[in-house]
Amino acid sequence: MSGGYSFDISYGKMRVPVYRVYATPLEGISAIPESAFTGRPNTLFALEVDVEVFGRNFFPAYEKGDNSNVVATDSMKNFVLRQALSYEGATLEGFLEYLGRNLLAAYSHMEALRVSGRELPFHYVPVPHQERFEQSEVLFSRAHGDYAVASLDLARDEQQHPTLSNHRCGQVGLELFKVTGSSFTRFYRDEYTTLPEREDRPLFIYLDVFWKYGEVADMLAADHQRYVPAEQVRDLLQTVFHEFVSESIQHLVYEMGKRLLDRFPQLAEVSFEAQNRTRDPMAVSSVDERVKVYSDPFPAYGLIKLTLSR
């Protein structure tokens, strides 16, 4: 309470761009049937970092303009960049935990933190090498499709030691178009229904997926044996979409969720946000009925959510 009011405060630095070169390679990953991914060199480890700080010690800045406890967000940015140099691990989640732990160690008046990161994805570029094509070791192509995210909440235990109080990992921004093999029929019809039933629709979805571990030790262990790489999650979702003839997006994400929880017993929960971006049919060939033309739909879109936990 202050001046008769209750308050809730936080502050921090958002979107610090970090390009660390020659980070530790990601190795030791357990293979899964749906994906060829088992590691990456991390030559270019690029991400964008948010730091949000919680604590009632910062309230005098709000109430009285007393900045004596305020760590300038510009200093936080410098802190993030230096931690990126000294980090010796290989994962987004590991870096965020390292950063958060060191922030709490450096600033005793910070009560709790949220540290978040978004991968800035770069793809390897194939170049000719002795009659074959190999990945360049120095040249990378910035991708603007799906990317990994993670968010970790750190607090202090009774001995003031940092403790991981919550976490969420994810891969966001997938955009997947399945040309044939999806339907949407027998839905509820009334006076507001103008959509026709479609036995075979060109299902185009935008998809974000998130997951939580049962034990955070599995996420952070240096051997990576039970680490769940976002690349494998993405490949698994694509495989399910490729294989499964869905009756709806609801049906599809539920199938994806079951497969993820089956494949990764170390996960406690998975969740999905799927946008329906299916294109509109415009013309069909009279010669070959597979041959069709679609175009963009009305801009509003359906959104389907699912959280599945053990």
Binding residues for O2, as ranges, are 73, 276
Least distance in angstroms from the C-beta of 173 to its own copies: 9
Least distance in angstroms from the C-beta of 221 to its own copies: 23
Per annotation, catalytic residue among 24, 38, 73, 163:
73
Q: Give the residue with the Cβ less far from its own copies, 74 or 157.
A: 74
- Which positions make up the binding site? 73-74, 184, 201, 250, 276
Using CB atoms within 10 A of its CB, is residue 49 exposed (0-12), middle (13-18) or buried (19+)? buried
Which secondary structure element, helix H or strand E, spans residue 39, and what is its range?
A: none
Contact 209, 270 (CB under 8 A): yes
Q: Is 13 a catalytic residue?
A: yes
Least distance in angstroms from the C-beta of 222 to its own copies: 19
- Transcribe 191-243 into DSSP letters: TT--PPPBSS--EEEEEEEEEEESSHHHHH-TT-TT---HHHHHHHHHHHHHH
Q: Give the residue with the Cβ less far from its own copies, 143 or 222.
A: 143
Q: Is 292 a catalytic residue?
A: no
- Which positions make up the binding site for 5-hydroxyisourate? 73-74, 184, 201, 250, 276
Instruction: Give the C-alpha separation, 283 to 39, whole Å.
Output: 44
Least distance in angstroms from the C-beta of 126 to its own copies: 7
Instruction: Give the C-alpha separation, 173 to 158, whole Å.
Output: 39
Q: Give the residue with the Cβ less far from its own copies, 147 or 227.
A: 147
Q: Give the residue with the Cβ less far from its own copies, 164 or 304.
A: 304
Contact 268, 300 (CB under 8 A): no
Catalytic residue ranges: 13, 73
